[in-house]
């Protein structure tokens, strides 16, 4: 239960920070939660929360603009579909969040 609460808290907080700060602010929230909360799953919580946030934001922006920019970017990288582009973006964001949470947890120790 603590793991799910940690994911929801990181996702919500990172979304609020992302409204006002540049994209790399997504590392601040998992770092803070990794530092403040004692958990054995800090990396996984940071990874999952930021990956969920980025895939949701990518889908939301793509559906709101109704343009074919994501398809063109996927074609630029020789990807078969924009869904794979979403997954790659989520993995990159998840790694940033996961390592930030792990850094916070290791700094606490």
Q: Dump pLDDT digits (tens) for 6-50.
A: 999 999 999 999 999 998 889 999 999 999 988 889 999 999 999
**Predicted local confidence at residue 71, as pLDDT:** 86
Q: Dump pLDDT digits (tens) for 65-87.
A: 878 888 888 899 999 988 899 99
Higher pLDDT among residues 39 and 56, named by residue: 56
**Predicted local confidence at residue 24, as pLDDT:** 85
**Predicted local confidence at residue 108, as pLDDT:** 84
What is the rounded distance in angstroms from the CA atom of residue 106 to the CA atom of residue 109? 5
What is the rounded distance in angstroms from the CA atom of residue 95 to the CA atom of residue 35? 17
Structural domain tally of the chain?
1
Residue pair 99/43 in contact by the 8 Å Cβ criterion: yes
- State the residue range of the domain holding 73: 2-108
């Amino acid at each position: 239960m603590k793991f799910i609460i940690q994911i929801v808290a990181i996702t919500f907080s990172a979304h609020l920070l992302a409204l006002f700060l540049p994209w790399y602010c997504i590392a601040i929230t998992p770092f803070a939660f990794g530092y403040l909360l004692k958990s054995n799953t800090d990396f996984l919580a940071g990874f999952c929360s930021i990956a969920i946030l980025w895939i949701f934001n990518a889908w939301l922006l793509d559906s709101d603009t109704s343009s074919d920019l994501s398809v063109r970017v996927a074609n630029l990288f020789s990807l078969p579909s924009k869904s794979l582009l979403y997954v790659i973006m989520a993995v990159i964001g998840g790694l940033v969040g996961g390592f930030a949470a792990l850094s916070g947890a290791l700094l606490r120790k």
